[in-house]
Amino acid sequence: MTGKQSGLSARFIVGGYDLSGDISALDSISGGVALLDVTDITQSAHSRITGQRDGSMGFSVYMDTSNAHPVLSALPSSDTLMTFLVPPLAIGSVSANLNAKQVGYDPTRNADGSLMMKVQGQGNEYGLEWCEQITPGLRSDTGATNGATQDDGGGFATPSFPATTVPVTNTSPLPATVVISGGTVGTVTINGASAGSGDGTYTVPPGQTIAVTYTGSPSWTWTLQTAYGAQAYLSVTAFTGTSVTVAVQDSADGSTWAAVTGLTFTAATAAPYTQRLATANNATLRRYVRAVTTGTFSAATFTAGINRNMAQGAAF
Amino acid sequence: MGNFDAAAVKALMAAVKTIPEKTGVFRSSVVFHEPVTAPAAVPSLALWLGPLESVPEVSGLSEVSGRIIVQGRIYATPAAKVSDKTEEQLMTWQSTLLGAFAGAFTLGGEAMAIDLLGLSGSKISAVPGYVTYDGAVYRVSEVSVPIILDSLWSESP
C-alpha cells in the first residue's frame, strides 16, 4: 500500500506477550538523541551537539485478568522488550522497538465507569529503534521455515550502461557499489563531483548520480548493500516444541542466502521470549533479508524486525 | 491513490461490492443502487452512495483527503413474517456484514481505511428498522459504511 494509512490492525507486544487486544491506545512513542547546549560567549545563537539516545513508549490498557493484567502487574525490574507493529502487518512494514524498563501500571476508574491502566516504558541501554518487519506481523511456523524475502532495494534493477558523460541515478533506497570494467574509462563523477578515473569500484549513495567518460564498451555491475551494521529484535509469543532458532539471513540476489554474522538469535525453548542483537557497526548487510527458523518444534509464533544502519558510526 | 477519477471510482465500488458478496449471506442479491421496488427474495443487500466530503484529519498541506459514506440496507423479511428468529438472523447478518468490512478495511488497498472506529467522526454501523415497498412493510437494517480515501484531490490556487 502506498499513501497515508490508518493505525487499524496495529499490534503491541510487551515482553513477548501479545497484548494488542487489551490496549486501547498508544499514548506516546518517543526517541532520539538528547541535545547538549554548547553555546559560547562569542555566539549569537544556540550551538548544540548530540548527546545520548533515549526512548519511551506509553500506552493505555484495559483491566483484563486473563491477559494483560498478569503480565503488567508483575512490574518487572528486569528489561522488557516493547514492540509496536505498525500496520499493514507485512514484510517490510515498520515496527518500533524499545528495550525498556516498565514504569507503572496505574489504574484510573473514570466517572463513565471505565477502568483503564497507564503504562510507560523507559529505554534502557539502547534508544528507540525504528525497524522494518521481516515477519508479516506475528508469523506462525509449524517447522523450520525460510521466511519471505524483503527486498530493501525496492525492486531496483541494474541500469544499462549510459552514453559517455550521461548521468544515471541510483533510484534505490540503498547505496550502490558500482564496479566498472572494460572499455577505456576516463573520469567518473558521483553527483557531479569527480570520484576518480578508470575502471574500478565506486559507491553511489541513494538518490545520487554516476556519470562515466569513456570510449569503447565498458560494462558495470551494481550491488546494493550497506556497510554500517544492523540491529535486530525478536519476540516469540507462542511456542510448542524443544527449541526454535530464528536467524536473519541476507542475500545479494535473493536466491543465495547466508546468515548475517551476529544476527542469529539464541534458541528459544519457551514463550514468551525476547532478544535484541546487533552486529558490528561496520558489518556489510546485503540487499535482500529474510527471517529463517530452525529447530525442533511444532508451533512457533514470533515477530522479528531489523534496523539497517544507513550511516557510518551508527550506534543505538 | 491519486485524483479520485472515474477509474478510481469504478475500482472502489467494485471493491466495496465484493465484500458482502463474498460472505455468501446475501445469496439472493447484492446491488449497488437503491432499489425502488421490493426485493425479489430475502435476505438481500442494497448499497448506494451517501455523502462525499473532505476529512481534515487526514488531509495534507496540499492534498484533500475525504470520506464517502456508502449507505446500505439489509432486507430481512416482510414484516408480516417477523418472528424471534428474524431478529436473530438480522443480528447475525448485520454482524457478518460489518465483520466482513472490518476484515478488509483497506478494501484491498483501494481505500485508506473503512472508518471502523470513528476516525473521521462517523463510524461503521447498522441500525434495524422498517421500510415500506409496494405496500408491504419489510424488516430491514440500515447500514452505514464510511470509507476514508487518501489524497482525493490536489490543491492549487
Taken in order of first residue, the domains within chain A and their CATH numbers are 1-38+49-130 (2.30.110), 168-225 (no CATH)
CB contact (8 A) between residue A6 and residue B113: yes
Q: How confident is the model at residue B80 (pLDDT cuts 50, 70, 90)?
A: confident
- Is B3 inside a domain boundary? no
Q: B111: domain CATH number?
A: 3.30.70
A5 contacts in chain B (CB < 8 Å):
106, 112-113, 150
CB contact (8 A) between residue A3 and residue B151: yes
Residue A158 near chain B (CB below 8 Å)? no
Burial class (CB in 10 A: 0-12, 13-18, 19+), A23: buried
Q: Which helix (H) or strand (E) holds A245?
A: strand A230-251
Per-residue pLDDT tens digits for B36-61: 888 888 899 999 999 999 999 999 99
Per-residue pLDDT tens digits for A288-313: 999 999 999 999 999 999 999 999 88
The whole-number average pLDDT for the span B117-126 is 94
Q: Which of B59, B64, B67, B112 to mutate to test the interface with A (most CBs of A within 10 A)?
A: B112
B150 contacts in chain A (CB < 8 Å):
3-5
Q: Which of B62, B67, B101, B150 to mutate to test the interface with A (most CBs of A within 10 A)?
A: B150
Residue A186 has pLDDT above 60, yes or no: yes
Among candidate residues B61, B44, B65, the one with its CA nearest the CA of residue B53: B65
- Is B140 inside a domain boundary? yes
Residues of chain B with pLDDT > 70: what percent? 98
Distance CA A286, CA A152 (A): 9
The one-letter amino acid at A247: A
Alpha helices by DSSP H, chain A: 68-72
The whole-number average pLDDT for the span A24-40 is 95
Q: Can you say whether residue B134 is alpha, beta or left, with left for phi > 0 and alpha for psi between -120 and 50 degrees?
A: left
Q: Which are the contacts of A100, defined by CB distance < 8 A and separation ≥ 6? A: A55, A56, A57, A79, A80, A81, A82, A121, A122, A123, A124
B116 contacts in chain A (CB < 8 Å):
8
B151 contacts in chain A (CB < 8 Å):
3-4
The whole-number average pLDDT for the span A136-162 is 97
Long-range contacts of B82-87 (CB under 8 A, 24+ apart): B82/B139, B86/B139
A8 contacts in chain B (CB < 8 Å):
105, 113, 116-117
Q: Which helix (H) or strand (E) holds A58?
A: strand A48-62
CB contact (8 A) between residue B106 and residue A1: yes
A88 contacts in chain B (CB < 8 Å):
106
- Is B18 inside a domain boundary? no
Q: How confident is the model at residue B96 (pLDDT cuts 50, 70, 90)?
A: very high
The whole-number average pLDDT for the span B65-88 is 93
- Across B49-62, b (16+ Cβ under 10 Å) vs e yields ebeeeebeebbeee
The whole-number average pLDDT for the span A76-101 is 96
Distance CA B65, CA B147 (A): 11
Residue A211 C-alpha from the chain's centroid: 32
Per-residue pLDDT tens digits for A111-127: 999 999 999 999 999 99
- Is B147 inside a domain boundary? yes
Helices (H) and strands (E) in chain A, counts: 1, 23
- Across A150-179, b (16+ Cβ under 10 Å) vs e yields bbbbeebeeeebeeeeeebebebbbbbbbe
- Is B85 inside a domain boundary? yes
pTM of the model: 0.90
Q: Which residues of chain B are at the A interface, by a Cβ-Cβ cutoff of 8 Å?
A: 1, 58, 60, 65, 105-106, 109, 112-113, 116-117, 119, 148, 150-151
The answer to whether A57 and A25 have CB atoms below 8 angstroms apart is: no
Q: Measured between CA atoms, how close is B71 to chain A, in angstroms?
A: 22
State the pLDDT at residue A54. Answer: 96
Residue A38 has pLDDT above 50, yes or no: yes
- Is B14 inside a domain boundary? no
State the pLDDT at residue B4. Answer: 87
- Is B34 inside a domain boundary? yes
**Cell output for A311:** 550511516
Residue B28 has pLDDT above 70, yes or no: no
Q: Which helix (H) or strand (E) holds B128?
A: strand B125-133
**Cell output for B124:** 461503521
Q: How confident is the model at residue B1 (pLDDT cuts 50, 70, 90)?
A: very low
The answer to whether A268 and A222 have CB atoms below 8 angstroms apart is: no
State the pLDDT at residue B135. Answer: 86
Largest CA distance in chain B: 59
Q: How confident is the model at residue A2 (pLDDT cuts 50, 70, 90)?
A: low
Residue B87 has pLDDT above 60, yes or no: yes
Chain A residue at shortest CA distance from B117: A8
**Cell output for A306:** 531489523
- The shortest CB-CB distance from A3 to any of B1, B116, B119 is to B1
Residue with cell 466495496: B16
State the pLDDT at residue A226. Answer: 96
- Identify the domain containing residue B61 by its residue range: 23-154
Q: Measured between CA atoms, how close is A194 to chain B, in angstroms?
A: 38
Q: How confident is the model at residue A22 (pLDDT cuts 50, 70, 90)?
A: very high
Distance CA B4, CA B12 (A): 10
The answer to whether A273 and A229 have CB atoms below 8 angstroms apart is: no
Residue A88 near chain B (CB below 8 Å)? yes
**Cell output for A301:** 509464533
Per-residue pLDDT tens digits for A41-65: 999 999 999 999 999 999 999 999 9
Chain A residue at shortest CA distance from B119: A6
B98 contacts in chain A (CB < 8 Å):
none
Q: Which of A6, A9, A23 to mutate to test the interface with B (most CBs of B within 10 A)?
A: A6
The whole-number average pLDDT for the span B91-97 is 97
Looking at the structure of chain B, the number of domains it has is: 1
Distance CA A91, CA B41 (A): 44
User: What was the ipTM of the complex prediction?
Assistant: 0.83
Residue A24 near chain B (CB below 8 Å)? no
Residue A104 has pLDDT above 60, yes or no: yes
Q: Which are the contacts of B63, defined by CB distance < 8 A and separation ≥ 6? A: B151, B152, B153, B154, B155
Residue A1 has pLDDT above 60, yes or no: no
The whole-number average pLDDT for the span A133-159 is 97
- Is B6 inside a domain boundary? no
Q: What is the mean pLDDT of chain A?
A: 96
B36 against A133, higher pLDDT: A133
Tell me how many residue pairs between chain A and chain B have CB atoms under 8 A apart.
27
